[in-house]
Amino acid sequence: MTKNTGTQSRQPSALDNFKPLLIDVALPLGSYYLFKDAFGMSTFAALAWSSVVPAVRTVWSLVRERKTNGLAGLILVVNVVSLLLSFVSGDPRLMLAKDSGVSSTVAIGILVSVWLGKPMMTAGMKPFIVKGDPDKEAAWQRLASGAAADSAAFRRKENVFSIVWGVVLLTECVARFVGAYTISVDTMVWLGSVFMIGAMVIGFLVSGGLAVEPMERMLKAEAEAEAGRAEVAVAA
């Protein structure tokens, strides 16, 4: 009979799993708009301050983990490029168009991650499906590793989730870029936020229907199948 000991590894919580996405995407994006819109900072200052977290994350990954943090590095590069462009332009429409630069690069990064076989959005989606349940966590590992019957379908849905978000964010960025040069500046200042909120709502609805719900069903079925196999093994 096994006993739980103090050395047993702690099951990662939803916050633990979601933390990388929050730090690498939500914090830099959110801080940029907070500094710019709420605190009234210039585009240059907002980009500079919002670059602090991805810069620290990238350096920390290199020093401690001996590897680069892809998403944090991606956002850092985009912010640095935007900062350099700010030196040579005073065009308010270009400033508005550049507001979509970080989001569009993240969107492209998400799509590239699917092509590379490492869908970037999985880190944010997994905790909401697993919900800290160790049986579902184990079922996820079997499905993701190819050890379960529905592994191929599961991984397709995992890719679909990231593809949906990549396409939605990229479309939103294109819309904001076009709006920056076709709609009055005063209107685009608030309409840009409307575009972002609309994109988020569409992303949640579409990715939920096309990926999250089917994955939840496959995860539940695999967990139940494993429980059944365990019962048969005990009976034998």
Among 35, 68, 88, which residue terminates a domain?
A: 88
Q: Are residues 107 and 192 in the same domain?
A: yes
Label residue 12 exposed, middle or buried (CB < 10 Å: 0-12, 13-18, 19+).
Answer: middle
pLDDT score for 105 = 77
Question: 108 lies in which domain range?
Answer: 90-236
pLDDT score for 156 = 94
Inter-residue contact 145 to 65 (CB < 8 Å): no
Q: Is the pLDDT of residue 87 over 50?
A: yes
Q: Are residues 115 and 199 in the same domain?
A: yes
Q: Are residues 82 and 145 in the same domain?
A: no
pLDDT score for 233 = 72
Cα–Cα distance, 125 to 122 (Å, whole number): 5
Cα–Cα distance, 23 to 157 (Å, whole number): 25
Among 88, 107, 142, which residue terminates a domain?
A: 88
Q: Is the pLDDT of residue 74 over 90?
A: no
Q: Is the pLDDT of residue 38 over 80?
A: no
Q: Are residues 210 and 115 in the same domain?
A: yes
pLDDT score for 71 = 54
Q: Are residues 141 and 210 in the same domain?
A: yes
| Higher local confidence (pLDDT), 81 or 227 | 227
Question: Is residue 54 very low, low, confident or very high in pLDDT (cuts 50, 70, 90)?
Answer: low
Cα–Cα distance, 193 to 198 (Å, whole number): 9
Task: At 83, list the tokens.
Answer: 């900062």
Q: What angle do CA 214, 216, 217 make, to 5 degrees?
A: 65
Q: Are residues 103 and 57 in the same domain?
A: no
Q: Which residues make Cβ contacts (< 8 Å) with residue 12, sequence separation at least 6?
A: 132
% of the chain at pLDDT higher than 90: 17
In a domain, 9, yes or no: no
Q: What is the mean pLDDT of the chain?
A: 75
In a domain, 217, yes or no: yes
Cα–Cα distance, 226 to 135 (Å, whole number): 9
Q: Are residues 22 and 114 in the same domain?
A: no
Among 88, 118, 133, which residue terminates a domain?
A: 88
In a domain, 39, yes or no: yes
Task: At 65, list the tokens.
Answer: 């983990």
Q: Are residues 78 and 111 in the same domain?
A: no
Q: Are residues 198 and 148 in the same domain?
A: yes
Label residue 55 exposed, middle or buried (CB < 10 Å: 0-12, 13-18, 19+).
Answer: middle
In a domain, 1, yes or no: no
Q: Are residues 135 and 51 in the same domain?
A: no
Inter-residue contact 223 to 135 (CB < 8 Å): yes
pLDDT, tens digit (0-9, with 9 covering 90-100), for 115-173: 998 898 887 788 888 888 888 899 999 998 888 888 999 999 999 999 999 999 899 88
> How many distinct structural domains can be found in the chain?
2
- Mean pLDDT within 2-21: 47
Task: At 220, list the tokens.
Answer: 């539940």
Q: Which of 64, 55, 3 is nearest to 27 (CA)?
A: 55
* Other Cβ atoms within 10 Å of 232 Cβ, number: 9
Q: Are residues 81 and 128 in the same domain?
A: no
Inter-residue contact 153 to 191 (CB < 8 Å): no
In a domain, 105, yes or no: yes
Question: Is residue 70 very low, low, confident or very high in pLDDT (cuts 50, 70, 90)?
Answer: low
Highest mean pLDDT among 54-68, 75-89, 199-213: 199-213
Cα–Cα distance, 111 to 165 (Å, whole number): 9
Cα–Cα distance, 61 to 99 (Å, whole number): 27
Q: Is the pLDDT of residue 17 over 50?
A: no
Distance of alpha carbon 120 from the chain centroid: 6
Q: Are residues 79 and 94 in the same domain?
A: no
Cα–Cα distance, 234 to 236 (Å, whole number): 5
